[in-house]
Structure 1
């Protein structure tokens, strides 16, 4: 039986540190990896690069940060025979292929480069929509594509990992992809290494979850982790190490990290990352569906966690598709509000702005006033007494929110505004910038022409799955059973985050948030506390009256919620500050609940904030 494959997750986004490829490749003799994977795609650059592709921008529509990260690692990648799999092709994978081939040739290396096609599906979408206008609906809002008020200009399907496996099997050293799903990078590498095919559903499901755990690089080694204070000792929050997934022939998974760098891999960091951006107990991929209800993490050594309890089902017959359209333009202005009466000052200025813009507002598609923060009680510094009033405008045309119709009128009000009224001197955000609308729907996998393009000109076709399962449109949901008074002893009113970790993220306009604790008794309290009804109360003024789904993960002491349409249309066109939904968890952890005193006494700090 072949040894486990070791896959290093060295990039979680186009904005991630660019050192991972070179770092893990250079330490191969002491800490070997077989494959380096890099996730460079998000709904932000999917839309902007898709638009760039359609517009024929000479810069290309791939993710250039990948080229910069790969270049210093190439010599060691070739020396040690490390494979590279990335989705940095974005909307121009074939062009990226030419760029990387030229890069390899200039350095006199013998690495072979393949690329994956099939994700560009706009013609299939338009043809089907023409014959059946009701066939495509938005998976978040239920809106039919036929009634969408924007013109589709680009569409990408989320591909599975078997095209990657085929490319590696046929001799590729570097595999470049466009919109494969994030975890497909790991599925493809593991399927190649262990010669799995679509009949190996349990193994593919385990690889899918392993992929989800390491796809965001250092998110699983301490980044975006609510237990971050544990990392201060010894400076472990400096230079967080990149994660490594070890996947065995039977699908067994161990998560670890590179040696000699900061961060940590624990049951808690793995739980946190598992809860990130999932939509419920069913975790879909074009190759397999992983069922998460009984997932379990076990600490088997320092920075080593095993993953078990993953069930599987066939993949759905459809795959996710993101459709991009020009959404218009956005501009914003920041005003600072300090000290006493902050809400009143903000209300005065909002009314002044609406009056000043009254001739232009009918041409806006959106105008909002967002008061960010507030003044501390008896503030020790002026910064602690400062809030920000963010004014955001959107319109279909740049002219409608041009500087003379938005930025200038807001600046001109400074002499007539509230006490201390001051605007941010950098007015660049007040100049209109393009935003892109994003419509998420589903397309039959049989409509996707998935293929691997090899270095020698061969094209390896990847057929769609023949065994699939149709799932309900809505994930399983349990509203929960409320606490009984006194069930866990005397309580103290305190922030939920005194006891519970949490993690949240975005999928289109939906936001998810998962909470977890450290022991069975705390979990029994947490799952009874966090019902759907309680979640609505905790959301307070943020609750949008939309559906909330809930499910429990008892083996990892977690409760998960999906907040439908909680975000403003998604990252590519949102008008909100929390455009990725990451701070939904932090807001909710700051909300006060009745916490059993015994849980607070058991904290290392005695329950003190």
Structure 2
């Protein structure tokens, strides 16, 4: 089957589609949700009936690490210590993913738009162009720039801009760290312009995860970016649904147990994006997983912040989203409403944080809390005055011994000792080098608690550099968004929308209206909420979002009535750190969403917790016990 536009015959490609062509949706395949995704993606998807392939390779983790390395490289270059050209600061796996697919991409006229360029977008463009030439192909490769804004941020700081934190509400000057690199989020308008001017492959840096789909939709359907808000907002949510690849096809899905057959090879998604902004999500054929209202709702709830989903091109209101199963592995998504884009875009700032290290002691069996306290008292005594220079000195006992354990491993728990400091060298010749912190822990082995055991790999106890990450807002008028078309020796400036609006920092938050008395649901059984409730959670810097959903209408009345803000605080138990919690509802998918402000101990690169990405907040809460109506349990568990 052809795509209907091989060799550039589709009207949309030329910016003047016929009425019949304009009605045809553009088919967009989602090839990557991050650097840890499978490498077969682009090659497999290029063999399908698709018009475009998009992918996301960036995260706050990779932005921070690439940015910090770019600063280090420049410092070494200025000092004459950079003896050879360093590796490109783009995603190192991207070319391996793309190269096998290039012949199909050219022969079938498929467009590609990705953000794998990270902090070296131009260099990745040259690398891709060289591979195209090596294979004897004629694909045109463009790139988008303007996301690196370090100089702009520094200038605005000097001019008095407070750069208020999106998470904590504090000013940048109160953060305690100095930004060394800043990168902002671009939208899809530059991608659309590149495609309009004949690009086949568009390499981007920090465009938003969903921006490639927005750009493809703008180009294909010819939407007016200053007034077609519903349509562009629909493309933003379409992009959000496929930006994490197999997530929408069963990855991270609460109902995963029914997908065990084929879980070794979940399908990648293909979205049909219609001219009205609605979309239909399907999956790659002959693969594992599924596309259902459950899997699509789960992905919609991932990493959102409230009823408004902001992009640089548009603001999408998702409270009215409706999902309908149109057939096996096909879900139609409608009801997204569009609003003008915000006057600002998100900007992430990286700073040197200091050094961190960790040591693990394994303890087993009975009296685990007492054993952990024994170890902690001894290690703190060994640290002496060095404790005063630590910004974080944390002991966490992870795991538990079940009653009458079936084997020794399940009875063994991890006591993690975690430290952070701005200076690797501490007082009294103490240090995070080995020996140093390592010895504070090691010295106590023979006066340890019963069963004290160390792991056989001590590399984590050597201090390593970590970075802090700060998220704020930058006026879109301060961003120099540009598209470079090398084959034309041409650069195009991409203006912001003429209709931008200022939105408040906090989104609408509310409890349910007309709550149903819980006793009206009949007899109950006490057990984990996750028996009947699905959930999805994620991170945005130190904020955690968590969305809950159910499968039936009467369960929805129960869910929205039981899940109040106070109930979530109670369920969080010791995990509740006192931050603000915001709540809203999406009735069309029977979901209640919460935003936990400043919940995650900073973010991926600096957190002292296991849950570096907030992905386990939801699974923790699903495990909490509530009174579940028996009639819900009779229908079967997730």
Instruction: Write out per-residue CA displacement over residues 137-188 of structure 1, whole angstroms, 9 at most, x where no aligned residue.
Output: 1111112112332121110110000000011111111100000000001000
CA contact (8 A) 1:52 1:60 kept: no
Instruction: Write out per-residue CA displacement over residues 323-365 of structure 1, whole angstroms, 9 at most, x where no aligned residue.
Output: 1111111111111111111111111111111111123212222
Cα distance in 2 between the residues matched to 1:127 and 1:105: 41
Residue among 67, 81, 100 paired with 1:72 = 100
Task: Report matched runs for 1:164-183 at 5 Å.
Answer: 164-183=191-210
Deviation at 1:483, TM superposition (A): 5.8
Structure 2 counterpart of 1:579: 612
Out of 562-571 and 354-363, give the one that drifted further. Answer: 354-363
Cα distance in 2 between the residues matched to 1:443 and 1:364: 33
Cα distance in 2 between the residues matched to 1:158 and 1:296: 28
Deviation at 1:536, TM superposition (A): 0.5
Q: Does 1:12 align with 2:43?
A: no
CA contact (8 A) 2:556 2:591 kept: yes
Describe the SS at the equivalent of 1:360: helix
Deviation at 1:515, TM superposition (A): 0.5
Describe the SS at the equivalent of 1:207: helix
Structure 1 counterpart of 2:56: 39
Q: Does 1:368 align with 2:394?
A: yes
Out of 527-536 and 105-114, give the one that drifted further. Answer: 105-114
Cα distance in 1 between the residues matched to 2:518 and 2:392: 45
Cα distance in 2 between the residues matched to 1:594 and 1:206: 38
Deviation at 1:133, TM superposition (A): 4.2
Out of 478-487 and 246-255, give the one that drifted further. Answer: 478-487
CA contact (8 A) 2:518 2:562 kept: no
> Cα–Cα, structure 1 residues 485 and 452, in superposed 2: closer, same or farther, change >3 Å?
closer
Residue among 306, 313, 331 paired with 1:305 = 331
Cα distance in 1 between the residues matched to 2:95 and 2:396: 38
Describe the SS at the equivalent of 2:325: strand
Instruction: Write out per-residue CA displacement over residues 579-604 of structure 1, whole angstroms, 9 at most, x where no aligned residue.
Output: 1000001100000001111111222x
CA contact (8 A) 1:62 1:92 kept: yes
Cα distance in 2 between the residues matched to 1:217 and 1:159: 20
> Cα–Cα, structure 1 residues 485 and 276, in superposed 2: closer, same or farther, change >3 Å?
closer
Cα distance in 2 between the residues matched to 1:386 and 1:312: 52
> Cα–Cα, structure 1 residues 485 and 182, in superposed 2: closer, same or farther, change >3 Å?
closer
Instruction: Write out per-residue CA displacement over residues 475-524 of structure 1, whole angstroms, 9 at most, x where no aligned residue.
Output: 11113466635221111111100110000000010000000001110010
Residue among 468, 473, 484 paired with 1:442 = 473
Q: Does 1:411 align with 2:442?
A: yes
Structure 2 counterpart of 1:104: 132
CA contact (8 A) 1:13 1:41 kept: yes
Cα distance in 1 between the residues matched to 2:407 and 2:531: 26
Deviation at 1:435, TM superposition (A): 1.0
Structure 2 counterpart of 1:392: 418
Instruction: Write out per-residue CA displacement over residues 385-413 of structure 1, whole angstroms, 9 at most, x where no aligned residue.
Output: 11111111111133342222211321232
> Cα–Cα, structure 1 residues 286 and 184, in superposed 2: closer, same or farther, change >3 Å?
same
Task: Tell me the TM-score normalised to structure 2 length.
Answer: 0.92
> What are structure 1's unaligned runs of at least 5 residues?
none
Q: Does 1:455 align with 2:455?
A: no
Residue among 10, 22, 38 paired with 2:43 = 22
Structure 1 counterpart of 2:544: 511
Deviation at 1:46, TM superposition (A): 0.3
Cα distance in 2 between the residues matched to 1:499 and 1:75: 47
CA contact (8 A) 1:162 1:188 kept: yes
Describe the SS at the equivalent of 2:265: coil
Cα distance in 2 between the residues matched to 1:441 and 1:347: 40
Q: Does 1:85 align with 2:113?
A: yes
Deviation at 1:257, TM superposition (A): 0.9
Task: Report matched runs for 1:136-285 at 5 Å.
Answer: 136-198=163-225, 199-232=227-260, 235-285=261-311
Structure 1 counterpart of 2:452: 421
Structure 1 counterpart of 2:68: 51
Residue among 495, 513, 531 paired with 1:498 = 531
Would you say how many aligned residue pairs link Structure 1 and Structure 2?
598
Deviation at 1:92, TM superposition (A): 1.2
Root-mean-square deviation over aligned CA pairs: 1.3
Residue among 585, 594, 599 paired with 2:632 = 599
Structure 1 counterpart of 2:599: 566
Task: Tell me the TM-score normalised to structure 1 length.
Answer: 0.96
> What are structure 2's unaligned runs of at least 5 residues?
1-18, 75-85, 426-430
Cα distance in 2 between the residues matched to 1:152 and 1:406: 28
Point out 4+ residue stretches in structure 1 off by more than 4 angstroms: none
CA contact (8 A) 2:165 2:472 kept: yes
Q: Does 1:539 align with 2:565?
A: no
Cα distance in 2 between the residues matched to 1:428 and 1:470: 49
Describe the SS at the equivalent of 2:206: coil
Structure 2 counterpart of 1:340: 366
Q: Does 1:115 align with 2:158?
A: no
